[in-house]
Amino acid sequence: MKLLSVFNQFEALANNETRDKATTRREAFTTLGKTLGKAATIALPLAAFMTPNRVAAQSSGDTVIDVLNFALLLEYLESEYYQTGLSTDSLLTGDTRETIALISQHETAHVEFLKTAINGAGGTAIDKPEFDFTVGGAFDPFGDLPTFMVLAQAFEDTGVRAYKGQAVNLMGNKDVLTAALQIHSVEARHASEIRRMRGSKGWITSDNNTTGVDAIDAVYNGEDNITQLGLDAVSITDVSRDRVTEAYDEPLSKADVTDIAMLFLG
């Protein structure tokens, strides 16, 4: 069954995190400097990392593909969420509709980009699973605009943390890393806009969950961290603690992101 298959693939991704880290760290040291010059590849990241022999130069192509499939699942989720919202009568109107339409366009483009990248690198893109954005009837995002915006905020803030958490696993392939960073900052732009539309700051203060939905506290767990590179980032500045926490977004592990995403798998 398709859904079960995706579920199992995703579980496998989550369970393999420790192995991925070790492999990728080794790759990072052995493949550094073997990628193409920066100017052309920054302009054409997709074309560059689709070249088969560049993938073969890695000690293991699986790790990058695993990460890209993990990203693809989140993009599937976001893309379907916004498309469903946009196709629901009278849910999204005016400026809100324009904003969501642009975000939806980006998420759909991310899905296509990642699928093309995965297939081009010799991997197999996971199929889109079935989602249940009502979480078994607990939420009514397509019947209630405030709920729709709450979940949108949760998905975007989670997306930022998820890409951030995978960056080190992509160090062995600089072109993929650059593309992932370019998606990561777009997710952050989305998050800021959605948050501000809801009346929250565009940035995350401490580990405050401003959605009002306790069930998604996990999206913000750990955002109150103030230790950066072993330094207490509060003690070395006159900036207040709250604002220091706003100044850094924290990563989430694949396992933590998986737990959040699982809530919305049908």
Partner 1 sequence: MQTPKFSTSRVVADRDPHSRRRFLRNSGIGLAAAGLFLTGCEDDDDPIRMGDGVNLGTGDIGVLNYAYALEQLEAAFYAAVITGSYYTGSATSEEEDILGDLEAHERAHADFFKAALGSSAIPALEVDFSTIDFTDRASVLGTAQAFEDLGVSAYNGAGRLITNPDYLVVAGKIVSVEARHAAAIRSINSGSPTAFANSQVVDASGLDVARTPSQVLTIASTYITTSIDFSGLPQ
Binding residues for partner 1 (CB under 8 A): 25, 28, 32, 35, 37-39, 42, 45-46, 95-96, 98-99, 102-103, 105-110, 112-113, 160, 163-164, 167-168, 171, 174-175, 177-179, 181-193, 196, 201-203, 228-229, 231, 233, 236-240, 243-244, 246-251
Least distance between partner 1 and beta carbon 80 (Å): 15
When the beta carbons of 66 and 246 are compared against partner 1, the nearer one is 246
Whichever of 247 and 262 has its CB closer to partner 1, that residue is 247
Given the complex with partner 1, which of 92 and 150 has the nearer CB atom?
Answer: 92
Residue 262 sits at the vertex; the CA angle it makes with 257 and 263, to the nearest 5 degrees, is 110
Q: How far is the CB of 173 from partner 1 (least distance, A)?
A: 9
Residue number, 134 or 206, with CB nearest to partner 1: 206
What gap in Å lies between CA 118 and CA 126, rounded to an integer? Answer: 9
Closer to partner 1 by Cβ: residue 86 or 168: 168
- Closest contact distance (angstroms) between CB of 222 and partner 1 is 11
Other beta carbons within 10 angstroms of residue 104's beta carbon come to: 21
Which tokens sit at 248? Answer: 């850094």
Query: Alpha carbon 30 to chain centroid distance?
Result: 27
The dihedrals phi and psi of 204, each to the nearest 5 degrees, come to -100, 120
77 versus 188: smaller Cβ distance to partner 1: 188
In the bound complex, what is the minimum distance in angstroms from residue 250's beta carbon to partner 1?
6
Min dist CB 200 to partner 1, Å, is 11
Cβ 242 to partner 1, closest distance in Å? 9
The separation between the first and the last C-alpha atoms of the chain, rounded to the nearest angstrom, is 13
**Closest separation in Å from C-beta 111 to partner 1:** 9
Decide: 49 and 175 in contact? Cβ < 8 Å. Answer: yes
Q: Which two tokens mark 122?
A: 């010799």
Do residues 81 and 152 touch, judged by C-beta distance below 8 A?
Answer: yes
Nearer to partner 1, 55 or 139 (CB): 55
